[in-house]
Chain A
Amino acid sequence: MRGVDVGVAAMPVLSVQDLKMYYLVERRGWVRAVDGVSFDLEKGEALGLVGESGCGKSSLGITILRILPFNAKIFGGKVVLEGKDILQMPEDKFRKEIRWKKISMVFQGAMNALNPVMRVGDQIAEAILLHEDVGRQEALERARNLLKLVGIDPSRANSYPHEFSGGMRQRAMIAMALACNPSVMIADEPTTALDVIVQAQILKLIKDIQRRLGISTILVTHDLSIVADLCDKVAVMYAGKIVELGPAEKIYYRPLHPYTAKLLGAVPSVKGKRRRLEFIPGAPPDLLYPPPGCRFHPRCPYAEEICKKEEPPMKEVNGVKVACHRVEELWNL
């Protein structure tokens, strides 16, 4: 390998470091939805953030974008975008310079995310007008171009969301996310409500856009098959923490964390042979009272004393980061 320039070229677009965000539940305490999460996102990279419901993957997305509900509080960490910590930035500045301009989001359930009483073109133009010093006509023209980019006839800019099908609405949402040429796009379950053929078309669109515009993407989903289709890098989340992080092929072919291995064993494949699927006994923990030590230990078949007491540190094994005490002995590494 030749030497890599240290400096701007090697710097990740987005670097999240030890990020913590908890929700306050009255009279009961803090729900530790995001609890010490770290990862880097390189330029043009697609990172898949996978985990089951309630693991904190969506919370992580809205923490990065700082669109938190009133009962949520950031307890520490850094979000470094192109070298600047944007977590500490004043809200006013963040709204003008970062949110949507540098980092945008495609929300889950496109049916509900669009304003039903506003023309689609106007909604996209609005995002541009809020962040850039351009005229209305120019913004509308750009909105039409964006619709074209996502495969919708530009004349449909005058339509209302109800005149669009589910797939088209999701395309319009993607156009809106691209409105200000962001460096990072967070897509939170972008295809969950869609039928499989439409889903495949949306995934293809996201891939195309990524390749053409060089946007770095974080795909938040519960579906390991979708991540396999779209992402180069995978972060597996469990109970508010990343348990395994690395290149997709390594993680899928040689999962190191017992949770990742079990989860992959539970996914049926349409291409595979008929087999009895594995499952993980029990349910994820209540994040108001997460278990001590490794949060997966109550469901882990390999748990030992140390797992119940000490939180496993993130170690680098075979080019993959994994948080498991027993990883070396389990796989004879």
Chain B
Amino acid sequence: MELVKVEDLRKYFEVRTFTLPFTKKPKLYVKAVDSVSFHINEGEIFGLAGESGCGKTTTGRCILRLIEPTSGRILYRGENILDYDKSKMRILRRRMQIIFQDPYESINPRMLIRDVVAEPLRVHKLASSEEELEDMVARALEDVKLVPPDDFMYRYPHELSGGQRQRVAIARALILNPEFIVADEPVSMLDVSIRAEILNVMLDLKEKYKLTYLFITHDLAVAKYFCDRLAIMYLGKIVEMGDVEEVIDNPLHPYTKALVAAIPVPDPKVKIGEIPIIGEVANPLNPPPGCRFHPRCVYAKDICKKEEPPLVEVKKGHFVACHLYSKG
């Protein structure tokens, strides 16, 4: 069953340029997300990966309407939430939450942990008394294994380690009993030894509360470990999508191939080989015509420079946007 469905999502950011008064200059746009479509099944962990600037974070935020998309549809349980008004959106927000990348910045350093975690309850007026509120906070802290909760409630963020802070951020996202959580690089700021602990907590919570995650990451090794399905983005578009093992072990798109080839492995006998890619990422203000990857692609043909390749299913559940795989 589809929980979230994204259809033809676009987000164009206007770039402010200097113009003399009374002169006209065409407006410039960065097409951060340019016609992205995918769905996330209930109970699934859907990964969105790509390099910096590919639009993965913008996509995640558009789904929560933290950024208003330029166009497209976002269906949550079949309803287009872009049609929702403020009050309807507010009710929906109880069911969708976000965990940010940097636990040193996403938590107010002047609030007690108890108040950080309780804030969503206060915003949505869900606790009838202070005791009830405290109970709920304690339960959320227990869920993220900050035990005993009494040891943490009356502390300030600076007294906690990075991993503990990120668990506070997870507790805060969890306290409203959401169904859907966007996790935007939740472990990229953490040390390796702590990373696995946070991911394991997130997996346990998913089982316990039947959560659905959108997991945004630049790290394919983490994605492989954590996600069920994965979409790879390049310059605002999804270039490949499918089961995580299929996409990483058997990549089809030339960009995914390069990306996978470039990742070092913790094995001294395996060295990074040649990376089949040319040059550097194009300027997103002026993306190349046709397939956006064509100037860097070692297999580019004439058609790649002219026509944009559609995202098509080449194997069951494995989609790729590349002319190499189109029929005819």
Q: How many residues of A contact B (CB 8 A)?
A: 43
For the complex, is B197 an interface residue (Cβ under 8 Å from A)?
Answer: yes
Interface contact A249-B266, CB-CB below 8 Å: no
Q: Give the docked Cα–Cα distance between A280 and B270 (Å).
A: 26
Report the minimal beta-carbon distance from B33 to chain A, rounded to whole angstroms.
18
List A contacts of B52 (CB < 8 A). 195
Instruction: Verify B196–A279 contact, CB threshold 8 A.
Output: yes
Residues of B within 8 A of A281 (CB): 197
CB contacts (< 8 Å) of B281 on chain A: these are 195
Query: Which of B191, B194, B266, B269 has the most chain A CB atoms closer than 10 A to its own CB?
Result: B266
The answer to whether A200 and B275 touch across the interface, beta carbons within 8 angstroms, is yes
Q: How many whole Å from A290's CB to the nearest CB in chain B? A: 16
Bound state CA distance, A268 and B193, in angstroms? 11
From B16-24, B218-226, B308-316, B320-328, the one touching the partner chain is B218-226
Which of A122-130, A224-232, A309-317 participates in binding chain B?
A: A224-232
Interface contact B245-A274, CB-CB below 8 Å: yes
- Whether B192 pairs with A270 at a CB distance below 8 angstroms is no
Interface range, B side: 35 or more
A224 touches B266 (CB 8 A): yes
Residues A197 and B51 in contact, CB atoms below 8 Å apart: yes
**Is A204 touching B267 in the complex (CB atoms < 8 A)?**
no
Among A195, A223, A278, which residue has its beta carbon within 8 angstroms of that of B264?
A223
Q: In the complex, A278 Cα to B200 Cα: how many Å?
A: 9
Interface presence of A262 (CB below 8 A): yes
Question: Which of B5-13, B81-89, B114-122, B254-262 lines the interface with chain A?
Answer: B254-262
Contact B191 A222 (CB under 8 A): yes
A279 surroundings in chain B (CB, below 8 A)? 193-197, 200
Question: Is the CB of B271 closer than 8 A to any CB of chain A?
Answer: yes
A279 to B163, CA, bound (A): 11
Within 8 A of B (CB), among A145-189: 165, 167
Please tell me if A52 contacts chain B, counting CB pairs below 8 Å. Answer: yes
Report the minimal beta-carbon distance from B1 to chain A, rounded to whole angstroms: 24
List, in ascending order, chain B residues with CB within 8 A of A212's CB.
none
Is the C-beta of B123 less than 8 angstroms from some C-beta in chain A? no
A93 touches B (CB below 8 Å): no
Min C-beta distance of B236 to chain A, whole Å? 16
| A88 close to chain B: CB less than 8 A | no
CB distance from A296 to the nearest CB of B (A): 11
Residue-wise, chain B 159-199 has the 8 Å CB interface mask toward A (1 for contact) of 00101100000000000000000000000000111111101
Q: Which residue of A lies closest to B160 (CB)?
A: A283
In chain B, residues 239-293, which have Cβ atoms closer than 8 Å to a Cβ of chain A? 244-245, 248, 258-272, 275, 277, 280-281
B265 touching A270, Cβ below 8 Å: yes
Complex partner residue of A225 from B197, B265, B275, CB under 8 angstroms: B265
Question: CB within 8 Å of B: which of A19-70?
Answer: 52-53
B266 lies within 8 A of A269 (CB): yes
User: Is B200 a contact of A270 with CB atoms below 8 Å?
Assistant: no
- The yes or no answer to A4 lying at the interface (CB within 8 A) is no
Pairs across A and B, CB under 8 Å, 19 listed: A52-B191, A196-B259, A196-B262, A200-B275, A222-B192, A224-B192, A225-B221, A225-B263, A226-B264, A252-B267, A263-B192, A266-B196, A268-B224, A274-B224, A275-B225, A276-B200, A277-B195, A277-B200, A281-B197
A residues lining the B interface (CB < 8 Å): 52-53, 165, 167, 195-201, 203-204, 222-226, 228-229, 231, 248-249, 252, 262-264, 266-272, 274-281, 283
Q: A276-B203, A278-B196 are in contact. List 17 more A-B contacts (CB 8 A).
A: A200-B261, A200-B275, A228-B270, A229-B265, A248-B268, A252-B268, A263-B192, A267-B221, A267-B266, A268-B224, A270-B221, A270-B260, A270-B263, A272-B265, A277-B195, A279-B193, A283-B194
Report the 10 A-B pairs with minimum CB-CB distance, sorted nearest first: A277-B196, A200-B262, A279-B197, A279-B196, A225-B264, A52-B191, A280-B193, A248-B268, A195-B51, A268-B221
Name B's A-contacting residues (CB within 8 A). 51-52, 161, 163-164, 191-197, 199-200, 203, 218-222, 224-225, 244-245, 248, 258-272, 275, 277, 280-281
